[in-house]
Amino acid sequence: MMRPELIFHHGKVFTADAAASRAEAIVVAGGMIVAVGHDLDVKSLAGPGTRMVDLGGGMLLPGIVDVHNHHLRGGQADLYELKLLPTMSFDAVLEAVRARCATTKPGEWVFGGIWGSQLVEMIGRASSLAELDAVSGAHPVMLRDDSQHNRWVNSRALELIGIDAGTPDPQDGQILRDVETGAATGLLLERASGLAEQAVERSIPDLAERNKASCRRAVEILNGFGVTAFQDATTTLPFLEALAALDRANELNGWCVASLPAQRTLSGADLVGDALIVRRETYRTRHVRPDFIKLFMDGVPTTRTAAMLTPYRATRLQGCCFCGDPLISIPDLVRWIAKAEKHRMRVKVHCTGDAAVRDTLDAIDVVRSFNGSGNGVGATHQIAHAGFVAPADIPRFRALDVAADLSPIIWYPGPIQEAIRAAIPEDRADCYWPLRDFHAAGALMAAGSDWPVVANPDPWLGIEGMITRRNPRSGYEGALWPEQALDLETVLRIYTVNAAQAMGLSDLTGSIEAGKSADFILVDRDLFATAPERLSQTKVLSTWFEGRQVHEAG
């Protein structure tokens, strides 16, 4: 064993190992955990230069592993963007835009978010565009919604983007238009959002440096919430470049698994699919792992773009039997999954509707029939946002070695759930996130924040919500399908070792065991002695990555 550099003792250590063991002390050397055990046994390993850290009875657990975020976008939002809350009224959003425009140089873009899905019908009106124009003057404006799939822009932005009454809808996207005049109303759905994002990026002269600063800030924020490993859910080439540059400068304090988009993205990235995948090894570093291909099977239920097995509520435009449409055919999806496995990669497939989930499982089933599961890549593919899942499909996750990438911070009662209820019949809308059924079926569940769809990547909100099925924030009453609640130990594993396994990092991190990276956090309470409805108040006192302290509570 290497000479002990650090010994953390007199603690309550939740290891998340396979035996569900508890410990009191750990030994760190060379950035690795080299021993775990009881105080008397571990303290006896100390040498002349060993630093002893008394935990004072505090709780130590593995670093949080966030299986789904958009970290650079989160850092960018923190540093540069207008901040809105999804609970804000239409008038409050307009007032925030007015105030930001008043302090922004003439003609510069004002962009940010997020506005709540409950505003989507109002924002889609021509009269709302006129109100946005009135408060923004000569400034082009772009505002993202709480799903990050849609954008609201003003008339100056439409002009700069090049959208007029004759502009055709992009593939898999829609430019919402006034029914009478045909003019764009300023609401851009799905892939049309990329037109706005590209226009904003063209206006930034130092984009590469801004991306690095955003990436650096994002990891600082993640470390502050105890996150030491994460999967970026849609990693375009500029994001890869920023990650690799930071890591080569020894400034990346976390493991990052990258998901390379196979299709045009919501940000409008040009380099996708094979052209991006072939470059991935150029950006592989010790901590950056470009090991996933990202695919989108559908949109989101709030705008009726999720592919569902049963119809949405009837509307005048879509009629009584509209279920949404998948974005990829099963044969094309089979080809992408087979290609991923040929490249020793995995897929992360965005599916918010139960029809999209079923199609993806069917495609993976086809590939399993000729590749099997022992294909040398670990073979665990991910279905992201597995919230609406038909009961018959739940056992297929384990049978096909598919991980459920969950987004617990966004599903409990709140603005998004209210918007889903407006689109989907209530009895179906509330059968959302069948966590206990997944657990009973032995499915691998991993949790992600989907930040900046949520304001910050605070895992403790999701941990409490998985246990209570209630919104930890005030203002939203009731529980969402409370029969699907989980216990604390199961949830902590979902946020640590399970997520590491789903990302292909379980040999490196996710649990406190000898031979793994010294990635762990000290929290301000014994989680197992805390009332479930107070878990969201948990604070991270310190975060350690590879045996280095990367966060200390102020």
137-174 pLDDT per residue, tens: 889 999 999 878 899 999 999 999 999 888 899 887 89
User: Is 70 exceeded by the pLDDT of residue 375?
Assistant: no
- Angle between helix axes 71-80 and 207-224 (nearest 10 degrees) is 100
**Which of 215, 224, 277, 272 has its CA nearest to residue 244?**
215
The one-letter amino acid code at 149 reads H
Show Cβ contacts of residue 415 under 8 Å, excluding neighbours closer than 6 positions. 86, 87, 116, 117, 118, 146
**Percent of the chain having pLDDT more than 90?**
74
Q: Is the pLDDT of residue 378 over 60?
A: no
CA 477 to chain centre: 25
Mean pLDDT computed over 396-404: 96
- The type of residue at 10 is H
Alpha-carbon distance 487 to 464, whole Å? 10
For 21, half-sphere exposure in the C-beta direction (CA atoms, 13 angstrom radius) is 14
The whole-number average pLDDT for the span 342-355 is 96
pLDDT tens, position by position, 487-526: 999 999 999 999 999 999 999 999 999 999 999 999 999 9
Q: pLDDT band for position 99 (50/70/90)?
A: very high
pLDDT of residue 279: 96
The order of strands in the sheet holding 25-29 is 32-37, 25-29, 6-9, 51-54
Rounded distance, CA 240 to CA 284, Å? 9
Q: Are 118 and 418 in contact (CB under 8 A)?
A: yes
Peptide bond between residue 452 and the one before it cis (omega within 30 degrees of 0): yes
Strand partners, 151: 144, 188
**Coil vs helix vs strand at 48:** coil
Tell me what the mean pLDDT of segment 173-193 comes to. Answer: 88
Residue 61: strand pairing partners: 521
Asked if pLDDT for residue 408 goes beyond 70, the answer is yes
CA atoms within 13 A on the CB side of 465: 26
Query: Which residue matches tokens 């408060």?
Result: 135
Check residue 265 and give its pLDDT. 65
Q: Looking up tokens 């925030």, which residue turns up?
A: 96
- pLDDT per position as a tens digit, 101-134: 999 998 899 999 889 888 888 888 889 999 999 9
Task: Give alpha helix (H) positions in 14-62.
Answer: 39-43
Q: How far apart are CA 427 and CA 69, in angstroms?
A: 30
Nearest to 58, CA basis, from 103, 24, 85, 81: 24
CB-CB contact of 496 with 517 (8 Å)? no
Domain ranges of the chain: 65-70+205-543, 109-202
pTM over 0.75: yes
Please report the DSSP string for 135-196 in residue order.
HHTT--EEEEETTSSEEEE-HHHHHHHT--TTPPPPTTEEEEE-TTT--EEEEEEETTHHHH
User: Distance (Å, rounded) from C-alpha 327 to C-alpha 300?
Assistant: 12
Cα separations in angstroms, 1 against 34, 161, 510, 515: 7, 61, 21, 10
Rounded to an integer, the average pLDDT of 346-354 is 97
pLDDT of 374 reads: 52
Report domain 65-70+205-543's class. alpha beta
ω into 114 cis (within 30 of 0)? yes
Q: Confidence band (pLDDT; 50, 70, 90) for 377?
A: very low
Q: Pick from 501, 523, 393: which is nearest to 18 by CA? A: 501
Contacting residues for 92 by C-beta, under 8 A, at least 6 apart: none
What's the whole-number mean pLDDT along residues 263-286?
86
Q: Give every CB contact of residue 169 below 8 A, 6+ residues apart in sequence.
A: 175, 192
Note the CATH number of domain 109-202. Answer: 3.10.310.70
Segment 270-289 shows an average pLDDT of 94
CB 337 within 8 A of CB 371: no
Confidence of residue 413 (pLDDT cuts 50, 70, 90): confident
Average pLDDT over residues 240-257: 97
Kindly tell me if the per-residue pLDDT of 198 is higher than 90: no
Place of tokens 């105080």: 39
Residue 316 to residue 353: CA distance in whole angstroms: 22
8-state DSSP, 283 = G
Give the residue-averaged pLDDT of 342-360: 97
When the pLDDT of each residue in the chain is averaged and rounded to a whole number, the result is 92
Burial of residue 333 (CB within 10 Å: 0-12, 13-18, 19+) is: buried
CB atoms within 10 A of CB 514: 14
Residue 538 has pLDDT above 50, yes or no: yes
Dist CA 189 CA 103 (whole Å): 29
- Please, which residues bridge with residue 352 across strands? none
Other C-beta atoms lying within 10 Å of the C-beta of residue 47? 10
